[in-house]
């Protein structure tokens, strides 16, 4: 539905067994054609690039300054713990307030953290306690951004083109993740860490300014729901309320399993795979493996959007997650660099499909009055549980070896996903929601 159309009928209740498909197939790249959503996708890509660019610069400086493995581990924990603890509450904020302003606050917090890093670099006052505070604030900004942006996406395009918006948003942000290390390395080498981190703060500006220009609030089509409490107990109760729908519960479980067993830890242990696969050229192999992992998400999203092969359903989410688990297990055991690169690309495609499909299921089936909280619950699982991957791959890998821990983590993901799929099949929740 175009951005200029009036309000549309409210979607069916979350407890309905199925949602009727639209009368006509959505346009290809519909969200990108939308005059409000298209610019947002570009702005979000830049913001995600800045997010990852900041990691490149600050992680390098922190290692060169302190050489602390404990601080390296805290970098991962601090990024994802706010997602685990605060996502549901931030989803409630997105339900209650103008999502444009919530996104702006998140982007301003990102910028403030980048500027604070720069000040610490300039003055030579960088310390571990100060670094820990900034790392936590950076993760908090990401957790605050996520639910509000999802409500904005649906407000931009309407219900019928929501799958396109989620898929392209994931694709563009994957592009940001892919470009972040490249641009970050260029700034680090060309400008130095201090000038580079100040330049990084400016990259958050386009999305911040865009929120002043769009007329959509995240609630334009359906209105603001009744005000609800946002306390810790209310957040816990909302988890139970949101997951009463078996399809939403399944989407949350599948996303949580992926985050817990694989999450972001695979990137942190990639240097070991580069050494075993690249041998004489470990540095270039490391870059190639990271690029292949990110490329899969970008290519997969573009191909799916262009072809419209897959409709969003939990069944598709389950199958794509199993493909992702198989690709990661194969990558961990192969001794061929070419096959490893191919498996990472396949894994990136499958992960993009799983993430975009499960996210879409949650948003389309959620009660409009608590959609932000539903997205918050999903974000808690898909982001916050990535803390667990530091245990399943990182700490466990220190005991049995990284290659073995990745294989066993992939096996755990596959078994958990099969169990979730079997349960949902009995509940007849494997329905299309597009």
Burial class (CB in 10 A: 0-12, 13-18, 19+), 311: middle
User: What is the predicted pLDDT for the residue at 84?
Assistant: 92
Cβ atoms within 10 Å of 186's Cβ, excluding its own: 13
Q: Look at residues 29, 11, 28 and name the one whose alpha carbon lies nearest to residue 20.
A: 11
Residue 122 CA from chain centroid, whole number: 32
CA distance 247 to 127: 46
Residue 408 parent element (H or E) = helix 402-426
Q: Give the three-class secondary structure for 102.
A: helix
The conformational region for residue 25 under phi > 0 = left, psi -120 to 50 = alpha, else beta, is beta
Task: Read off the pTM.
Answer: 0.83
Residue showing tokens 């299921």: 361
Q: Which residues of the chain have pLDDT under 50?
A: 1-23
Number of helices (H), then strands (E), belonging to the chain: the values are 19, 0
pLDDT 10s digits, 363-406: 888 888 888 889 999 999 999 999 888 888 877 887 888 899 99
pLDDT of residue 11: 44
Q: Which two tokens stand for residue 102?
A: 């919530």
CA distances from 415 to 27, 157, 262, 321, 330 (A): 36, 36, 13, 11, 16
**How distant is the alpha carbon of residue 423 from its chain centre?**
26
Phi first, then psi: what are they for 218, rounded to 5°? Answer: 95, -10
Domains of the chain: 30-216 (1.20.1250.20), 240-434 (1.20.1250.20)
DSSP state of 279: G
Q: How far apart are CA 113 and CA 200, in angstroms?
A: 10
């Amino acid at each position: 539905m175009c951005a200029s159309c009036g309000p549309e009928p409210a979607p069916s209740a979350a407890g309905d067994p199925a949602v009727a498909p639209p009368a006509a197939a959505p346009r290809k790249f519909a969200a990108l054609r939308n005059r409000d959503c298209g610019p947002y996708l570009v702005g979000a890509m830049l913001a995600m690039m800045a997010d990852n660019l900041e990691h490149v610069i600050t992680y390098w400086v922190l290692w060169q300054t302190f050489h602390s493995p404990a601080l390296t581990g805290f970098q991962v924990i601090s990024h994802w713990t706010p997602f685990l603890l605060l996502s549901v509450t931030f989803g409630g904020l997105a339900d209650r307030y103008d999502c444009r302003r919530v996104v702006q606050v998140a982007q301003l917090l990102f910028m403030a953290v980048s500027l604070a890093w720069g000040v610490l670099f300039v003055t030579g006052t960088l310390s571990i306690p100060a670094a820990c505070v900034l790392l936590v604030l950076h993760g908090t900004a990401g957790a605050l951004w996520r639910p509000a942006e999802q409500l904005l996406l649906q407000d931009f395009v309407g219900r019928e083109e929501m799958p396109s918006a989620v898929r392209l948003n994931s694709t563009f942000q994957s592009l940001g993740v892919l470009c972040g290390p490249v641009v970050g390395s260029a700034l680090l080498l060309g400008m130095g860490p201090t000038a580079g981190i100040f330049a990084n703060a400016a990259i958050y500006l386009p999305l911040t300014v865009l929120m002043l220009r769009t007329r959509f609030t995240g609630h334009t089509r359906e209105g603001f729901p009744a005000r609800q409490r946002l306390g810790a107990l209310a957040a816990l109760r909302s988890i139970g309320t949101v997951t009463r729908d078996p399809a939403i519960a399944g989407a949350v479980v599948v996303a949580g399993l992926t985050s817990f067993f694989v999450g972001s830890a695979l990137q942190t242990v990639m240097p070991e795979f580069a050494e075993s696969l690249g041998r004489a050229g470990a540095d270039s192999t490391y870059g190639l493996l990271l690029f292949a992992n990110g490329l899969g998400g970008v290519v997969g999203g573009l191909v799916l959007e262009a072809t419209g092969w897959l409709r969003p359903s939990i069944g598709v989410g389950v199958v794509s997650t199993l493909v992702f688990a198989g690709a990661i297990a194969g990558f961990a055991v192969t001794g061929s660099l070419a096959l490893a690169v191919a498996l990472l690309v396949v894994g990136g495609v499958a992960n993009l499909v799983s993430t975009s499909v499960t996210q879409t299921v949650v948003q389309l089936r959620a009660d409009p009055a608590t959609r932000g909280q539903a997205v918050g619950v999903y974000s808690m699982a898909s982001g916050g549980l990535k803390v667990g991957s530091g245990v399943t791959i990182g700490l466990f890998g220190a005991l049995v070896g990284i290659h073995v821990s990745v294989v066993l983590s992939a096996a755990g993901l596959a078994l958990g996903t099969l169990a979730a799929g079997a349960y949902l099949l009995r509940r007849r929740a494997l329905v299309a929601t597009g």
